[in-house]
Chains A and B, each alone.
Chain A
């Protein structure tokens, strides 16, 4: 095995906070980056950890007050590592090899720290492979560790066992990451996906920041992906081939769906309560249509009186709900049952992307995502319960992707919405979430703690960082790492699906080469293959 570069020796530390390493003179602090991996040769074990901080230090403080003549390169070189030296802070996470147990059973969680003066090296590609697992030919990987070539596996099978989150401020690569992860899930058939695609960038094509078009799921895997749309016109204009146009009937909207929109629509509690009364009065399927049909003042006042509501409350509710009319996909009665269609596709193992087209506002998004998810979840739940009772096959695991998750999972709403329920019940009914959000601090703390694997790009708001790291060991160390991520295409992954926190450079997405590596084959190539096969088989 090739000897990796020696970095220094352990000089102090604790299990809770990690260890301090004095950098060798020959190593420049400027060559060190937080997030990189190291190994520490303890007396009995080898430790594997991550650099979380870099500090400058001097043996003698007088050196700082009368700095030596470092304009002279010779003097500067002599002093570096001796009178002045760098210190690394390292968070050891695992032990690898060295002792019999970890050789037999693979990396183990650390339960102690390496002894004084243990030697620290940069981790080798093999070490990283030993920790994250070797990536086989057809297996999905998410990227490479900093300054390394080794591929970091993110096991879709493990991932979908819990709800997961992709976080990061705007423009850091969340959408690109999500696309990759969806492809991983799709390729390894770990689950089927239902994506609520607010900005229409997962189904047919998305754009990169330079305005270049990038292929999305259906272009890459036409036989495994169906694109549903709420905006048929827009889809046609964008030349997206869609599989189904979703309409939602007023008769499908329940008071719960409106309750969810309380904040976004600016409804009072009283107004929300009134919707339930309306439903009782007119019937679950008729209330909205009947209510919106009322046009005269007298009619409204009469209704208010008979329901014992304030007239003003009713008038305000009417005004707010009336604004839903601009959503053209809302119709008195839908021509087809979108929920049934979605379930059919999912049952066949097809992944469904629902594009919102021009309806990019949060009201439309929340209304539809909630409404559909509630019904789909109910079906899953029923089928799972039946499957358990009658010993029949349970439905395929389903991952539902939502953006702007904090709107659905805020502290106020998390207790009531279907998304809060799904996040909390783990995988009980074979449904989990992939939430994408740029403001994780807006997400309910309890929901956050149920998120199995967090994939987070750069965050710069203190509260967002705190909320993502709540309950994680080595929190303050990871905080430093998180705050120092590149603004793009770098991400810190920690939680259930990875053995230890890992900073990766997200694999490139958008070039012909990247599509190929993800398993996409050009039509021409497919045709050639088919002809070759024909030649072969006659």
Chain B
């Protein structure tokens, strides 16, 4: 089962940000999460996480000089948990149509699951809704989503940390595969095509996903 880990607090077509229910426990960098907009499930790859003070502009102060263990700081000031928050951002990499309260009647076409839902590896029509729940995808879902490697083309254009993100996400999904080595080789080949002549980027990523 996918586990509920947070709630959307900011959303755009290409990404959404959620606040974690548990402080300091964001989903790992590069892992696959999902949220919803109406009947559409939106998939994202965790591209960033941060823990900050809940009041903008106020920074926490150091408190542990007298304490032996870090945990003692939190034990001594339980209100701290309330003053801090952990947020994470996910880059939208695809969506699934037709999952909702009722089973979909749609049939035919590719990228389809047994239930007649359609999985697309491109951006959804609308961004996620604020306060939608966010789930960490379970193994089965991650494997299903990664059957197509089309989502890599979105990650390739993800900006400064794109290559780190690609490598991290591939490491995650690969770990869930029945044959991780084979999966990584296929992914590598897909990247080699996507990156064309950008040999250095390709090399960087490949070195990071080596099984």
Contact = CB atoms under 8 A, between A and B. Distances in A.
A binds B: yes
Interface of A: 25, 59-60, 62-63, 66, 68-69, 72, 74-75, 77-79, 81-83
B197 A59 contact: yes
Nearest to A25: B189
Interface string B126-145: 00000000000000000000
Closest 3 pairs (CB-CB, A-B)? A78-B188, A60-B197, A82-B192
Nearest to A65: B199
Contacts, number: 49
Interface stretch (B6-14, B67-75, B202-210): B202-210
B206 A75 contact: yes
B192 A78 contact: yes
A74 B184 contact: yes
B196 interface: yes
A25 B192 CA distance: 11
Nearest to A60: B197
A1 B192 CA distance: 34
Which range holds the interface residue count of chain B? 10 to 19
Contacts of A59: 196-197
A66 to B, nearest CB: 6
B189 A82 contact: yes
B211 to A, nearest CB: 7
B83 interface: no
A117 to B, nearest CB: 15
B120 to A, nearest CB: 25
Given A74-B206, A75-B206, A60 B185 contact: no
Contact of A83 (B200, B202, B210): B202
Interface in B22-78: none
Contacts of A60: 196-197, 199
A77 B197 contact: no
B149 interface: no
A82 B185 contact: no
Given A25-B189, A83-B202, A72 B210 contact: yes
B193 interface: yes
A74 B211 contact: yes
Interface in B158-211: 184-185, 188-189, 191-193, 196-197, 199-200, 202-203, 206-207, 210-211
A63 B193 contact: no
B193 to A, nearest CB: 5
B197 A62 contact: yes
A71 to B, nearest CB: 12
Contacts of B189: 25, 78, 81-82
Contacts of A62: 197, 199
A78 B188 CA distance: 5
Nearest to A67: B199
Contacts of A68: 199, 202-203, 206
B150 to A, nearest CB: 16
B61 to A, nearest CB: 47
B185 A78 contact: yes
Given A74-B211, A77-B185, A82 B193 contact: yes
Nearest to B186: A78
A174 to B, nearest CB: 47
B174 to A, nearest CB: 12
A158 to B, nearest CB: 48
A79 B192 contact: yes
Contacts of B199: 60, 62-63, 66, 68, 83
Contacts of B193: 82
B192 A69 contact: no
A83 B200 CA distance: 12
A63 B189 CA distance: 15
Given A62-B197, A68-B199, A83 B192 contact: yes
B204 to A, nearest CB: 11
Contacts of A81: 189
Contacts of A63: 197, 199
Contacts of B185: 74, 77-78
Contacts of B203: 68-69, 75
Contacts of A72: 206-207, 210
Nearest to B209: A74
A60 B196 CA distance: 7
16 contacts: A59-B196, A59-B197, A63-B199, A66-B200, A68-B202, A68-B206, A72-B206, A72-B207, A75-B188, A75-B206, A77-B185, A77-B188, A78-B192, A78-B206, A79-B192, A82-B193
Given A75-B206, A78-B188, 11 more contacts: A60-B196, A66-B199, A66-B200, A69-B203, A74-B185, A74-B188, A74-B206, A75-B203, A78-B185, A81-B189, A82-B193
A74 B170 CA distance: 15
Nearest to B191: A78
Nearest to B210: A74
Most buried by A among B193, B197, B199, B203: B199
Nearest to A84: B192
Contacts of B206: 68, 72, 74-75, 78
Contacts of B202: 68, 83
Nearest to B181: A74
A81 B189 CA distance: 8
A63 B207 CA distance: 16
Contacts of A69: 203, 207
A82 B185 CA distance: 11
A507 B42 CA distance: 65
Nearest to B194: A82
Contacts of A75: 188, 203, 206-207, 210
B186 to A, nearest CB: 9
Most buried by A among B191, B192, B200, B211: B192
Nearest to B184: A74
Nearest to A74: B210
Nearest to A68: B203
Nearest to B187: A78
A59 B189 CA distance: 13
A10 B83 CA distance: 64
Contacts of B210: 72, 74-75
